[in-house]
Chains A and B, each alone.
Chain A
Protein backbone atom coordinates (compact mmCIF):
# COMPACT_ATOMS: atom_id res chain seq x y z
CA UNK A 1 0.00 0.00 0.00
CA UNK A 2 1.31 3.43 -0.92
CA UNK A 3 1.97 5.60 2.12
CA UNK A 4 3.94 8.52 3.45
CA UNK A 5 5.28 9.00 6.99
CA UNK A 6 6.75 12.26 8.21
CA UNK A 7 8.88 12.86 11.27
CA UNK A 8 9.09 14.52 13.64
CA UNK A 9 5.47 15.60 14.12
CA UNK A 10 6.62 18.88 15.63
CA UNK A 11 9.96 20.67 15.78
CA UNK A 12 10.99 23.77 17.68
CA UNK A 13 14.20 25.49 16.63
CA UNK A 14 16.02 28.57 17.74
CA UNK A 15 16.54 31.10 14.98
CA UNK A 16 19.70 30.06 13.12
CA UNK A 17 19.60 26.45 14.35
CA UNK A 18 19.70 24.21 11.27
CA UNK A 19 17.82 20.90 11.15
CA UNK A 20 16.17 18.36 8.85
CA UNK A 21 12.67 17.02 8.38
CA UNK A 22 12.14 13.46 7.22
CA UNK A 23 9.65 11.95 4.80
CA UNK A 24 9.65 8.16 4.42
CA UNK A 25 7.59 6.72 1.62
CA UNK A 26 6.39 3.44 0.23
CA UNK A 27 5.08 3.60 -3.30
CA UNK A 28 4.77 1.21 -6.19
CA UNK A 29 6.87 3.18 -8.65
CA UNK A 30 7.56 6.81 -7.82
CA UNK A 31 6.38 9.38 -10.30
CA UNK A 32 7.28 12.32 -8.09
CA UNK A 33 7.81 13.43 -4.49
CA UNK A 34 6.55 16.84 -3.48
CA UNK A 35 7.18 19.21 -0.60
CA UNK A 36 4.60 21.79 0.38
CA UNK A 37 4.47 24.49 3.02
CA UNK A 38 1.17 25.17 4.81
CA UNK A 39 0.48 28.17 7.02
CA UNK A 40 -2.38 27.96 9.55
CA UNK A 41 -5.80 28.18 7.90
CA UNK A 42 -4.33 28.39 4.40
CA UNK A 43 -3.85 26.04 1.49
CA UNK A 44 -0.57 24.20 0.96
CA UNK A 45 1.98 26.09 -1.09
CA UNK A 46 4.23 24.17 -3.48
CA UNK A 47 7.95 24.12 -2.72
CA UNK A 48 9.72 21.33 -4.64
CA UNK A 49 9.27 18.29 -6.86
CA UNK A 50 11.86 15.50 -6.83
CA UNK A 51 11.74 12.73 -9.39
CA UNK A 52 14.61 10.30 -8.80
CA UNK A 53 17.03 9.17 -6.12
CA UNK A 54 20.02 11.46 -5.77
CA UNK A 55 18.16 14.54 -6.90
CA UNK A 56 18.46 17.74 -4.85
CA UNK A 57 16.67 21.08 -5.08
CA UNK A 58 17.23 24.33 -3.20
CA UNK A 59 15.23 27.44 -2.50
CA UNK A 60 16.56 30.07 -0.13
CA UNK A 61 17.14 28.35 3.23
CA UNK A 62 15.49 25.10 2.14
CA UNK A 63 17.10 22.12 0.43
CA UNK A 64 15.24 18.92 -0.47
CA UNK A 65 16.96 15.62 -1.16
CA UNK A 66 15.66 12.23 -2.28
CA UNK A 67 16.72 8.61 -1.82
CA UNK A 68 14.89 5.45 -2.83
CA UNK A 69 13.04 5.29 0.47
CA UNK A 70 12.97 8.80 1.94
CA UNK A 71 13.33 12.49 1.40
CA UNK A 72 14.80 15.13 3.65
CA UNK A 73 13.98 18.80 3.84
CA UNK A 74 17.03 20.57 5.25
CA UNK A 75 16.49 23.99 6.78
CA UNK A 76 19.64 26.07 7.13
CA UNK A 77 19.75 28.98 9.59
CA UNK A 78 15.96 29.19 9.85
CA UNK A 79 14.12 32.42 10.56
CA UNK A 80 10.80 32.89 12.39
CA UNK A 81 9.03 33.35 9.04
CA UNK A 82 9.92 29.74 8.20
CA UNK A 83 7.48 28.62 10.89
CA UNK A 84 4.79 26.52 9.17
CA UNK A 85 3.70 22.94 8.62
CA UNK A 86 5.73 21.18 5.95
CA UNK A 87 3.92 18.48 4.01
CA UNK A 88 5.40 15.70 1.91
CA UNK A 89 3.42 13.94 -0.81
CA UNK A 90 4.11 11.25 -3.38
CA UNK A 91 2.49 10.41 -6.66
CA UNK A 92 2.79 6.86 -7.94
CA UNK A 93 3.20 5.75 -11.52
CA UNK A 94 0.11 3.61 -11.21
CA UNK A 95 -2.55 6.22 -10.63
CA UNK A 96 -3.72 9.77 -10.20
CA UNK A 97 -3.63 10.05 -6.44
CA UNK A 98 -1.24 12.06 -4.36
CA UNK A 99 -0.55 10.55 -0.94
CA UNK A 100 0.19 13.14 1.71
CA UNK A 101 1.94 12.72 5.03
CA UNK A 102 0.53 14.33 8.15
CA UNK A 103 3.24 16.97 8.15
CA UNK A 104 5.89 18.40 10.44
CA UNK A 105 4.90 21.51 12.35
CA UNK A 106 7.97 23.75 12.52
CA UNK A 107 8.28 26.62 14.99
CA UNK A 108 11.31 28.89 14.80
CA UNK A 109 11.85 30.94 17.94
CA UNK A 110 13.52 34.37 17.64
Chain B
Protein backbone atom coordinates (compact mmCIF):
# COMPACT_ATOMS: atom_id res chain seq x y z
CA UNK B 1 0.00 0.00 0.00
CA UNK B 2 1.58 3.26 -1.19
CA UNK B 3 -0.54 5.47 1.05
CA UNK B 4 -2.24 7.14 -1.93
CA UNK B 5 -5.86 6.02 -2.15
CA UNK B 6 -7.85 6.15 -5.35
CA UNK B 7 -11.53 5.35 -5.81
CA UNK B 8 -13.20 3.74 -7.61
CA UNK B 9 -10.78 1.04 -8.76
CA UNK B 10 -12.92 0.20 -11.77
CA UNK B 11 -15.62 2.16 -13.53
CA UNK B 12 -17.68 1.25 -16.59
CA UNK B 13 -19.87 3.87 -18.14
CA UNK B 14 -21.37 4.96 -21.45
CA UNK B 15 -20.38 7.63 -23.93
CA UNK B 16 -21.66 11.07 -23.05
CA UNK B 17 -21.70 10.39 -19.32
CA UNK B 18 -19.80 12.14 -16.53
CA UNK B 19 -17.67 10.50 -13.84
CA UNK B 20 -15.67 11.66 -10.85
CA UNK B 21 -12.45 10.02 -9.73
CA UNK B 22 -11.23 10.60 -6.22
CA UNK B 23 -7.75 10.67 -4.73
CA UNK B 24 -6.55 10.92 -1.15
CA UNK B 25 -2.84 11.77 -1.03
CA UNK B 26 -0.32 10.21 1.29
CA UNK B 27 -0.40 11.70 4.78
CA UNK B 28 1.70 14.85 4.85
CA UNK B 29 1.83 15.29 1.08
CA UNK B 30 0.54 18.63 -0.16
CA UNK B 31 0.82 18.14 -3.90
CA UNK B 32 -1.38 16.00 -6.12
CA UNK B 33 -0.75 15.09 -9.74
CA UNK B 34 -3.18 13.40 -12.15
CA UNK B 35 -2.00 11.22 -15.02
CA UNK B 36 -3.74 9.31 -17.79
CA UNK B 37 -2.26 6.05 -19.08
CA UNK B 38 -3.63 4.47 -22.25
CA UNK B 39 -2.47 1.20 -23.81
CA UNK B 40 -0.69 2.91 -26.65
CA UNK B 41 0.69 5.83 -24.71
CA UNK B 42 2.80 6.38 -21.65
CA UNK B 43 1.83 8.38 -18.63
CA UNK B 44 0.31 11.63 -19.82
CA UNK B 45 0.38 14.47 -17.32
CA UNK B 46 -3.00 16.10 -16.84
CA UNK B 47 -2.83 18.57 -13.96
CA UNK B 48 -1.13 19.33 -10.64
CA UNK B 49 -2.40 20.94 -7.45
CA UNK B 50 -0.44 22.14 -4.47
CA UNK B 51 -2.22 22.86 -1.21
CA UNK B 52 -5.47 23.60 -2.99
CA UNK B 53 -4.09 25.69 -5.84
CA UNK B 54 -3.55 24.66 -9.44
CA UNK B 55 0.19 24.70 -10.17
CA UNK B 56 0.65 23.10 -13.59
CA UNK B 57 -1.49 21.99 -16.47
CA UNK B 58 -0.61 19.40 -19.06
CA UNK B 59 -2.61 17.91 -21.92
CA UNK B 60 -5.90 18.06 -20.08
CA UNK B 61 -8.99 18.26 -22.25
CA UNK B 62 -11.57 21.00 -21.70
CA UNK B 63 -14.07 18.23 -20.87
CA UNK B 64 -11.92 17.34 -17.87
CA UNK B 65 -11.55 19.35 -14.70
CA UNK B 66 -10.05 18.84 -11.28
CA UNK B 67 -9.82 20.42 -7.88
CA UNK B 68 -8.07 19.90 -4.58
CA UNK B 69 -10.08 20.43 -1.42
CA UNK B 70 -9.02 21.91 1.94
CA UNK B 71 -8.49 18.41 3.35
CA UNK B 72 -6.08 17.90 0.41
CA UNK B 73 -8.05 15.18 -1.33
CA UNK B 74 -8.53 15.74 -5.04
CA UNK B 75 -11.19 14.92 -7.57
CA UNK B 76 -10.87 14.57 -11.34
CA UNK B 77 -14.11 15.15 -13.22
CA UNK B 78 -14.48 13.70 -16.71
CA UNK B 79 -17.52 14.75 -18.71
CA UNK B 80 -19.05 14.07 -22.14
CA UNK B 81 -17.07 10.86 -22.14
CA UNK B 82 -15.82 9.38 -25.39
CA UNK B 83 -14.54 5.89 -26.20
CA UNK B 84 -11.02 7.27 -26.35
CA UNK B 85 -11.19 8.33 -22.71
CA UNK B 86 -10.97 4.70 -21.66
CA UNK B 87 -7.71 4.47 -19.73
CA UNK B 88 -6.07 4.07 -16.37
CA UNK B 89 -6.11 7.29 -14.39
CA UNK B 90 -3.44 7.65 -11.78
CA UNK B 91 -3.11 10.08 -8.94
CA UNK B 92 0.30 10.72 -7.42
CA UNK B 93 1.27 12.82 -4.45
CA UNK B 94 4.45 14.44 -3.21
CA UNK B 95 5.43 16.46 -0.20
CA UNK B 96 6.35 19.60 -2.01
CA UNK B 97 4.97 21.55 -4.92
CA UNK B 98 7.80 23.32 -6.60
CA UNK B 99 10.02 26.07 -5.49
CA UNK B 100 13.36 27.01 -6.95
CA UNK B 101 15.96 25.62 -4.64
CA UNK B 102 13.94 22.65 -3.46
CA UNK B 103 15.15 19.18 -4.19
CA UNK B 104 13.45 17.06 -6.77
CA UNK B 105 10.14 15.62 -5.66
CA UNK B 106 9.42 11.94 -5.51
CA UNK B 107 5.97 11.00 -6.74
CA UNK B 108 4.08 8.29 -4.90
CA UNK B 109 1.38 6.76 -7.07
CA UNK B 110 -1.95 5.28 -6.20
CA UNK B 111 -3.21 2.01 -7.65
CA UNK B 112 -5.22 3.83 -10.31
CA UNK B 113 -8.80 3.99 -11.48
CA UNK B 114 -9.58 1.99 -14.60
CA UNK B 115 -12.21 3.73 -16.69
CA UNK B 116 -13.99 1.89 -19.47
CA UNK B 117 -16.29 3.88 -21.73
CA UNK B 118 -18.69 1.77 -23.82
Residue positions of A touching B, CB distance < 8 A: 31-32, 34, 36, 41-46, 49, 51, 87, 89, 91, 93, 95-103
Q: How long is the Cα–Cα vector from A31 to B103 in the complex, in angstroms?
A: 7
B interface list, Cβ under 8 A from A: 2, 4, 33, 35, 41-43, 45, 48, 50, 55-56, 58, 88, 90, 92, 97-98, 100, 103-112, 114
Question: Can you identify 29 A-B contacts, CB atoms within 8 angstroms?
Answer: A31-B103, A31-B104, A32-B103, A32-B104, A32-B105, A34-B104, A34-B106, A34-B107, A41-B114, A43-B4, A43-B90, A43-B109, A43-B110, A43-B111, A44-B90, A44-B107, A44-B109, A45-B2, A46-B107, A49-B106, A89-B107, A91-B105, A95-B56, A96-B48, A96-B50, A96-B97, A97-B45, A98-B33, A103-B42
